[in-house]
Structure 1
């Protein structure tokens, strides 16, 4: 192995000498490059091959090539450009081939190699490698997809791309990815052929007898028929319809797809959504007596007519499919229509109001739409009718979805904004009863309002919150202590803390807040400042290393450094076994600090 590595390194000498001769690198840099290459060569020649060694070696060579190009641009050196740059690129090419040969199952090497070849324009290497990749990875539709895209987009060989896709579909007859690629390819090729034919002859292309599809679209049509037969997924078929819509002169195929969707997926919300949006775009729906869509499909040119026809489709849909999903698709479309306010704003808003009201009455309106409805009505606070309607919608929303915290917040915010204290209190009481532990945001909102409007009632709100469930009481404890210090005194806060810290559930944030408050006092009382740390270690010392570290840091900085050893021993005895090593490591980091060492000693 050593002899082989030495031979490889000797072969690199002329290239390195040229780099030094034209002054891209100095002697030390050349020596460093040679040393690094030798290390990598030994690694990739080991008996047990490692992917990472190849990847690092390749990356090193690519970085070297990039650096050479940067130095050339900076120094204006163009000598030996083809020799040196090509030699390095070829070396990377060889490394990739070796790696692919050793690790054929790893698709990352194949894809990375293709990107590299594209970057350095080794296009012929990719074409040769493509066949090998498909032999090894023919069970992966993605590989056929990659091969076809390369041939179509980079090599501009449509015939090869078509063959790859057809072979891929032979192995993967249910692959949506390959059917989509094949459909796109045939549509694009049909358009290109038609343009070429038009430039030569202006006579129209005759249509075939099969579904009256123009002959240049026949391949795409056959691909679609196979896809529709093999894959029963409305989302996929709609994707094919949207692809066809992006290409010109595909009305025949679009009509066929639409007819198939209407016939096969009459009870799918997405089918109705697609048909409604086509009406909005002014696309004529195919006529037929067997269509389940009981609407007028006549083409209309005006925006109002298109919106109206779109709305009619949805109205028919929600009568046939009485689900939340169908109503949501309907409202999403009407909301999109309302985003463009330049024309017919009143008509659009009317349709939206009607859709939201009908969805609510049907009991199928989701939370996010209630919130959007509330948001729209909240924008015009001067309009009395809007405000009455807003209150009505808020009541509807909280009655329909009583477990929604956001809707109760919106309702409470409305009452408080208009000074309706009694209504706010009644809504708050009702909401907290229904939401239980989830009502914490409402308690915070209520508390903030009382502190602003009626400070004398703040104590009452805190006491009520502390009597609630564990989640609410636990969150309110630190806030309560902070409020006591700011409005009363540290003595009162200490007395209350002594009670709160013993009430279940234990709250770590309470101890942290009290410790911080004690350290902010003009004269720090070590007795009182130490108590929160003691309580934190007693209640959380088994499962939390931070409480012990905080205690130690307090004693080092403000307390008695002599106590650190005792705390350390207690921590090691108290912590669960899995956490002990972690704590010891953290403690060791503190001891490495020279100031801390002096204090401990």
Structure 2
């Protein structure tokens, strides 16, 4: 192996000498390049081959080639390209070839090599490699897709691309990717054969004579579509094919065919109705007698929106699901984004859709919230406020487990200053939501602090006696409030009690530790207590409680205690975390030592 590597390295010497001679690199840089190449050569010649070694070597050579080109541009050096640039490119080409031979099962190498060949314009190499790739990976539709795209984009050979796709579909008759590729290819080919005027003439002749045949130019695309429709029973894929046809002019006949088949085959699918409604909105041609709505030609925006709405109205009567209603409302919301035209008409349709979905018990939380937001943004009069309260009540009754809806309802009463209703809604919501009601407790707390500060203690006590999860999350806030409104002594007494009450709360200890450090005179005894409690309750599973304790002693307490805390941490933490803690401590110690050295040198 060593002899082979040495021979390879010797073969590279002329190339390196040329680099130095024309002053692309200096002597030290050349020595570094030679050393690096030698290391990589030994790695790829090992008995056990490793993919990563090839990938790293290839990346090194690509980076070297990039650097060579940058140096040429910067220094204005144009000579010896064949001896240097092309030699590096050929080296990468050889490495890819070797890697692909060694690791044929890894598609990444094939794809990366094709990208390289495209970049370097090694077209003949790629064409040979595509044939080999398909022999090895014919079981992967993605490879047939790649081969076809190469023929279309790089070789401009439509016939070869078509053959690859047809062979791929023969092996993978249910591949959506290959059907979509073939369909797009045939549409591209159809519209490249004839001009727009000829296609229009064909279309007008067909309509005039009442023939239901597909234009000749679209027959290949139609055959691909029919096969796809037969093999793949999925409305999403058929809609994808329909969307592809919309990218091309003069495909109305094919679009009508797809739409007609969708209506017949997928009348039970919400997405089919959604697609049909949006086609009405865009004014796209619809096949006659496919929908149970008036499909006479209309051109105005109002007419298109009305026809779109009619399709949805028909749909929700046939398909009484939450998904169907959601698609309907989503489209009407999108229509309402444009407020420049017909704003009142659009809002009316949205209000009706939301109200009907609520009555059908199919309205999702997000749409209740949008309905509420819409009413909040309207002119504040008695009727609007009445309607807003009605919708809020409907929403919380329809979806009683929604925290967001209860928040919106509670906020409504808080803004209006209706204290009795605030209390009633809060009591009802917390009873239903239980441990999920924390946002409502926080809202109630802010409301009481603003309106009746003397009742704040009462709210905290109620929270402490409520759901364990609520009590746990409110503890830090309670301690902080005591420090800010009363004194640290009161907070310490309450903390001593709360920290022993289950469930344990890590944030409580952190908050109390922070409060102690905010005092004008820090009491080390009291400041240590939160750290001691945190390590006792969370010392097995949290490295940060030990690091916080160590930081406290180093910065505010007694640094001599650090060794003992370190020993306790290593003993207490789970084995997987103990190693992490040791690393964190080492970094902290090194940082402290560097800081001390810097201070001394400055002095």
Question: Shorter-chain TM-score: what band?
Answer: over 0.9
> 2:329 & 2:588 partners in 1: Cα distance?
60
State the match for 1:243 in structure 2: 244
Match of 1:81, SS state, is coil
Q: CA deviation at 1:580?
A: 3.5
Matches within 5 A, 1:30-429: 30-195=30-195, 211-288=212-289, 291=290, 293-429=291-427
Q: CA deviation at 1:295?
A: 1.2
State the match for 1:483 in structure 2: 481
> 1:525 & 1:335 partners in 2: Cα distance?
60
Cα deviation, 1:212-264, whole Å, max 9, x if unaligned, reads: 11111110000001000101001101111111122111111111111111111
> 1:505 & 1:204 partners in 2: Cα distance?
75
State the match for 1:494 in structure 2: 492
Kept in 1, the 8 Å contact 2:268–2:319? The answer is yes
Kept in 2, the 8 Å contact 1:148–1:165? The answer is yes
Matches within 5 A, 1:554-593: 554-592=552-590
Worse-superposed segment, 10-19 or 541-550: 541-550
Kept in 2, the 8 Å contact 1:100–1:109? The answer is yes
Q: CA deviation at 1:596?
A: 11
Structure-2 change in CA distance of 1:118 and 1:517 (3 Å): same
Q: CA deviation at 1:597?
A: 13
Q: Does 1:506 align with 2:504?
A: yes
Kept in 2, the 8 Å contact 1:234–1:270? The answer is yes
Match of 1:460, SS state, is helix
> 2:559 & 2:19 partners in 1: Cα distance?
62
Structure-2 change in CA distance of 1:91 and 1:574 (3 Å): closer
State the match for 1:444 in structure 2: 442
Structure-2 change in CA distance of 1:276 and 1:96 (3 Å): same
Q: Does 1:471 align with 2:472?
A: no
State the match for 1:15 in structure 2: 15
Cα deviation, 1:112-153, whole Å, max 9, x if unaligned, reads: 001111111112211111110011000000011111111111
> 2:90 & 2:560 partners in 1: Cα distance?
67
> 2:120 & 2:314 partners in 1: Cα distance?
58
**Normalising by structure 2, what TM-score?**
0.94
Kept in 2, the 8 Å contact 1:24–1:68? The answer is yes
Q: CA deviation at 1:577?
A: 4.0
Kept in 2, the 8 Å contact 1:206–1:214? The answer is no
Structure-2 change in CA distance of 1:188 and 1:470 (3 Å): same
Structure-2 change in CA distance of 1:568 and 1:202 (3 Å): closer
How many equivalent residue pairs? Answer: 594
Q: Which structure 1 residue ranges, 4+ long, deviate > 6 Å from structure 2?
A: 201-210
Kept in 2, the 8 Å contact 1:416–1:424? The answer is yes
Q: CA deviation at 1:343?
A: 1.3
Cα deviation, 1:535-593, whole Å, max 9, x if unaligned, reads: 11222223323222322332233223333343334334433344344444444445546
> 2:330 & 2:202 partners in 1: Cα distance?
45
Q: Which runs of 5+ in 1 are unaligned?
A: none
Kept in 2, the 8 Å contact 1:591–1:597? The answer is no
> 2:197 & 2:135 partners in 1: Cα distance?
38
State the match for 2:600 in structure 1: none
Structure-2 change in CA distance of 1:596 and 1:186 (3 Å): closer
Cα deviation, 1:27-71, whole Å, max 9, x if unaligned, reads: 111111111111111111111111111111111110011111111
**Normalising by structure 1, what TM-score?**
0.95
Name the Cα RMSD after superposition: 2.2
Q: CA deviation at 1:438?
A: 0.3
Kept in 2, the 8 Å contact 1:514–1:532? The answer is yes
Q: CA deviation at 1:92?
A: 0.6
Kept in 2, the 8 Å contact 1:394–1:407? The answer is yes
| Candidates 524, 529, 535, aligned match of 1:531 | 529
Cα deviation, 1:61-118, whole Å, max 9, x if unaligned, reads: 1001111111111111111234321111111111111110110000000010011111
Structure-2 change in CA distance of 1:206 and 1:93 (3 Å): farther
> 1:205 & 1:540 partners in 2: Cα distance?
79
Kept in 2, the 8 Å contact 1:331–1:356? The answer is yes
| Candidates 498, 515, 519, aligned match of 2:513 | 515
> 1:343 & 1:277 partners in 2: Cα distance?
18
Q: CA deviation at 1:278?
A: 1.1
Structure-2 change in CA distance of 1:49 and 1:539 (3 Å): same
> 1:541 & 1:372 partners in 2: Cα distance?
45
Worse-superposed segment, 320-329 or 14-23: 14-23
> 1:12 & 1:125 partners in 2: Cα distance?
23
Worse-superposed segment, 535-544 or 70-79: 535-544
Structure-2 change in CA distance of 1:205 and 1:55 (3 Å): farther
Kept in 2, the 8 Å contact 1:269–1:321? The answer is yes
Cα deviation, 1:294-324, whole Å, max 9, x if unaligned, reads: 2112121111111111111111111111110
